[in-house]
Structure formats: C-alpha cells, structure tokens
Amino acid sequence: MYLHLGAGVTICIKELIGIFDYGLVNSVANQEYWQTAQWDNKITALEGKAKSIVVTEKKIYVVPVSRTTLTRRWQQNQY
C-alpha cells in the first residue's frame, strides 16, 4: 500500500517509520539527527509551507500536509 504525501509524491507504507509535526525539527534533541540527514542529502522538501515530517527508511520528507491528515490517510489504507 502507498501513502500520498502531496505534490505528486507517494511512498510505500512498508518503508514508513514515522509522521511528526514540523515543529520537532527545532527541538534540541533532534538537531544532530536533522543536521546529519541534511549532510547526507536525505531530506526532500515538498513545495508549500512545512507542516509535518515523514521519515522513511531511505528519506525524510518535509510535507505541506498536517500530521493529522497524513495519519488519517494512512489509517484509511489499512482497511
């Protein structure tokens, strides 16, 4: 199954690790992880105002769709 993130981007749900609010990027605990991901070019920012972060096995997506909406889409794909 797949999850549509917006801007024509879809990911395989099996690769999904987590969906988080974008505000977590600024927390001190996440700064090292975020900097490492930027250094490794693993971050893909979709067009629009960032609202959430989707972490997969291979990439991190900065998405203009809320965590709540993405979670709802994921839950609908479970059935």
Taking only the tens place, the pLDDT of each residue in 33-62 is 889 999 999 999 999 999 999 999 999 999
Contact 74, 56 (CB under 8 A): no
What is the pLDDT, as a whole number, of residue 61?
A: 98
Say if residue 27's pLDDT is above 90: no
Contact 46, 40 (CB under 8 A): no
d(CA 73, CA 58): 21
Per-residue pLDDT reduced to its tens digit, 68-77: 999 999 988 7
DSSP 20-65: EEGGGGGSHHHHHHHHHHHHTT-EEEPSS---EEEEESS-EEEESS
Say if residue 79's pLDDT is above 70: no
